[in-house]
Structure 1
Amino acid sequence: MFDSAMIPVLAGIAAILVFATLAFFASRYKRCPSDRILVVYGKVGGNKSARCVHGGASFVWPVIQDYAYLSLTPMPIDIQLRGALSQQNIRVNTPSTFTVGISTEPGVMENAAERLLGQTQPQIQELAKDIIFGQMRVVIATMPIEEINADRDKLIANISNGVEVELKKVGLRLINVNVQDITDESGYIEALGKEAAARAINDAKIKVSQQERDGDIGAALADKEKRISVAQAQAEAVTGENLSAVEIANSIASRREKEAEAERLGTAAEKVASAKALQESYLAEESAERQRAKREEAAMMATIIVQADIEKRKIEVLAEAEKNRVRISAEAQKQRIELEAEAEKRRIELVAQAEAERIRIIKEGEAAGLKTYMEAEAAGTLAQLEARAKGFQSIVTAAGGADKAAQLMVTEQLPGLVAEQVKAISGIKIDKLTVWDSGRTGEDGKTRTADFVSGLVGAIPPLHDIARNAGIELPGYLGKPASSSGGKKPAPPSDTQAI
């Protein structure tokens, strides 16, 4: 039975387990301070390598996840950039101070988690320093040196825009840029300062001359108006007095004549002084214009030289690119020709192999056919020989012996031999035969003409001689040979015969 005393123990164990579970989950719940970024990595889901939290908290699952922090403390970086080429290929020194930090922008924080997690602050500063160096050189190369020196705000804005884009790729952001000073190795910026100072001094001198000229002109005009006003008042007074006395009029006329002469002289003196002032002012303006023309000419020459240098460099780069393109094209053409030659060689080899295989198959077929033909011909010849052998054996048996069978076979061939002998003289064509015969007869009572004809017939071998040459003796009923009959062989004719 269940003991009631165990209830408090079980309740205590349950409480301890609940407390331990709460403590474990509380220890895995991580809060992110405002000056840091909480990076949870491991199996975070969503095909992401890490999850970044700023200004909040996140639960970190045990075993499958872990966490780390990225500091948001700003990092100052001193950039002592020297010898950077401007747009005119003039080397510029721009020592600056940049302040960067890890960005809290969504998307950029993940870049920082992927590329900066686990690195120390000096390592991050060195990475940012390399990026800033490269981007500053790129920005300075796109600006003329006059704009770099005169418009600091534009320079800083261009540097900030270029550097900010590259820093975001590694999870950083640009906080501040401070360009300390701008100098160049050739002294061009110092010359620009001296030119500006000289131009300001010349402008000031021109303004002083213009003010003095305006003052003299104003004084002369005021004196002229004064004299005109006085003369007009006096003329009006004298006009009334002239009505009463001619003498006064003559006196006034004489006085006015003298006053007019004096006024003319005074006006001429004033105009001469004014002309001198204008001449000096014009000389000062001419000098200033000459200085300005010289400065503009120098600037134009510098621009032309720089543009020519840039164009030369552009042509050289294009020529080098064209050279590389031609070389690469030649190499590709060579490689293509080699591949085509190799393919053609391989094709020829395959064709030769196929032709050799075809010839071999044809020869094998011909040899097999010839073998079959020869075997058939040999079988036919063998059959003929076997048949003849059987025939000969029957002839020998019927003749009563091999010798008699041979004589019988030769005797069968004698008509053919005689026919061939007859053909030997039957084919002789005698167009004309002339015989001179003295009418004398021989011992046998025959004339020479008869001897000639019998000699011609005697040129045919006798039948017994032919049989004897064949190795057989003819039977007696076929006659006796000429040598055994005791007759003499007729002598050839001695008289001259012509055929």
Structure 2
Amino acid sequence: MEFVGILLAIVLVAVLAIVFSVKSLVIICQPSEVVIISGPQKRNDQRVGYRHIRGGRGLRVPLLEVVDRLDLTNMAVDVSVRGAYTQDGVPINVIGVANIKIDGDPPGLDNAVERLLGKTRSAIERLAQQTLEANLRGVLARLTPEEVNEDKRRFAEELIEEAEVDLQRLGLKLDTLKIQTVSDDVGYLDSIGRIKNADLIKRARMAEADRRSEAAVQAAENTQKKRVAQVQADIEIAHAQAQKRIVDATTQRPAKVAQERSEIESQIARAEA
């Protein structure tokens, strides 16, 4: 009986050992990461030294393969430069924020495996920050301060276009980039703003003066039109009255002639009597 108990214990230990061994060989990959399995792997008949799993599970070969993970979640990277020279030679300061992540699809993933595998998240963020700030200075050198300050969206689009190539070489992907503030230490942008504000006020006043002038001209034209219309109406009334008098005179003339003739005949008759 004691022997059976010992045998069962040995079997249980063996089963548990097998379970734990198999479990240690099973790799589960979350949707927000990529599992890199380093080992004697080939792709297209070329030795690449690794394979990857994205969102799923797989098995690793014990003793021959090593497992690493790359986090694909977003990283918020602050981007700022001070005293970066623009096309006009004016030094300006720019502050922005970028959302980046490790590219989970080839060929970006291949670059990430070569350059980012084993690096900490903070080290990757610093690398991305340095790359973006270098690109930022390059874009600023091609633009005027007015272009940078007035059209931040276009400025960000040009920066994204230039930075994407360098980030892809590092295995990174740029999701969004927003320019938050643009300033300078010499008051150039403030002076430009004051000049433009004064110009806007001047244009507004000129537009108001033009509007008032147009309103005055329109009022004068309306008054003139009313007077002309009144004169025309008076002329038409006078013409109608004259026509009426002519018609009345023409109509009443035979009656008056007959009346006068009757009176004359009456006078002659009285004289003869």
**In which range does the TM-score fall when normalised by the shorter chain?**
0.7 to 0.9
- SS in structure 2 of the partner of residue 73 of structure 1: coil
Unaligned runs of 5+ in 1: 1-8, 246-499
The runs of 5 or more residues in structure 2 that have no matched partner are: 1-5, 247-273
In structure 2, the partner of 1:112 is 112
Q: Give the letter for the 1:43 counterpart.
A: P
On the 8 A contact 1:52/1:110 being kept in 2, the answer is no
| Correspondences of 1:94-493 after superposition (within 5 Å) | 94-241=94-241
2: CA distance, partners of 1:82 / 1:197: 26
Q: Which of these residues, 15, 34, 39, is aligned with residue 37 of structure 1?
A: 34
Instruction: Tell me how far apart the structure 2 counterparts of residues 90 and 144 of structure 1 sit (CA, whole Å).
Output: 8
Supply the RMSD in Å over aligned alpha carbons.
Answer: 2.7
**Counterpart amino acid of residue 115 in structure 2:** R
In our comparison, the structure showing a higher alpha carbon Rg is 1
CA shift, 1:13, in A, is 8.8
TM alignment of 1:50-89, pairs within 5 A:
50-89=50-89
Letter in 1 for 2:176: N
- Paired with 1:48 and 1:145, the residues of 2 have a C-alpha distance of 47
SS state at 2:225 partner: helix
Q: Evaluate the alpha carbon distance shift between residue 237 and residue 118 of structure 1 in structure 2; reply closer, same or farther with a 3 A threshold.
A: closer
CA distance in 2, matches of 1:206, 1:237: 46
Q: How many residues align?
A: 237
Is the 1:128–1:167 contact (alpha carbons within 8 Å) kept by the matching residues of 2? yes
State the shift of 1:19 in Å: 7.7
The CA deviation string for residues 254-278 of structure 1, in whole angstroms up to 9 with x for no partner, is xxxxxxxxxxxxxxxxxxxxxxxxx
Tell me if structure 2 keeps the 8 A contact 1:52–1:113: no
User: C-alpha deviations, 1:178-198, integer Å up to 9, x for none?
Assistant: 211111233222222122212
Q: CA deviation at 1:62?
A: 0.9
Residue matched to 1:389:
none
TM-fit CA distance, 1:77 = 1.9
Name the SS for the 1:117 alignment partner.
Answer: coil
Whole-angstrom distance in 2 between the partners of 1:143 and 1:58: 51
Measured after TM superposition, the shift of residue 22 of structure 1 is 6.2
Tell me how far apart the structure 2 counterparts of residues 50 and 33 of structure 1 sit (CA, whole Å).
19
| 1:416-452 residue CA offsets vs partner (Å, 9 max, x unmatched) | xxxxxxxxxxxxxxxxxxxxxxxxxxxxxxxxxxxxx
Greater fraction of residues in strand? 2
Partner residue in 1 for 2:264: none
CA contact (8 A) 1:86 1:145 kept: yes
8 Å CA contact 1:50–1:110 kept in 2: the answer is no
Instruction: Report if aligned partners of 1:40, 1:65 keep a CA contact under 8 Å in 2.
Output: yes
2:24 paired residue among 24, 27, 32:
27
Deviations 1:157-191 (A, max 9, x none): 11112222111212111122121111123322222
Paired with 2:240 and 2:53, the residues of 1 have a C-alpha distance of 106
1:287-325 Cα offsets, whole Å, 9 max, x none, are xxxxxxxxxxxxxxxxxxxxxxxxxxxxxxxxxxxxxxx
Residue type at the aligned position of 2:48: K
Distance (Å, rounded) in 2 between the aligned partners of 1:130 and 1:107: 22
Between the aligned partners of 2:119 and 2:137, the Cα distance in structure 1 is 26
**In 2, Cα distance between the equivalents of 1:122 and 1:233?**
90
Change (3 A) 1:63 1:219: same
2:16 & 2:95 partners in 1: Cα distance? Answer: 60
2:256 equivalent in structure 1: none
Structure 2 length-normalised TM: 0.77
What letter matches 2:146 in structure 1? E
Scaled by the length of structure 1, the TM-score of the pair is: 0.44
SS at match of 2:55: coil
Deviation at 1:53, TM superposition (A): 1.7
For residue 236 of structure 2, what is the amino acid of its counterpart? E
Match of 2:271 in 1: none
Instruction: Provide the identity percentage.
Output: 26
Looking at structure 2, the residues matched to 240 and 159 of structure 1 have their Cα atoms a distance apart, in angstroms, of: 82
Amino acid corresponding to residue 199 of structure 1 in structure 2: D
Counterpart secondary structure, 1:135 = helix
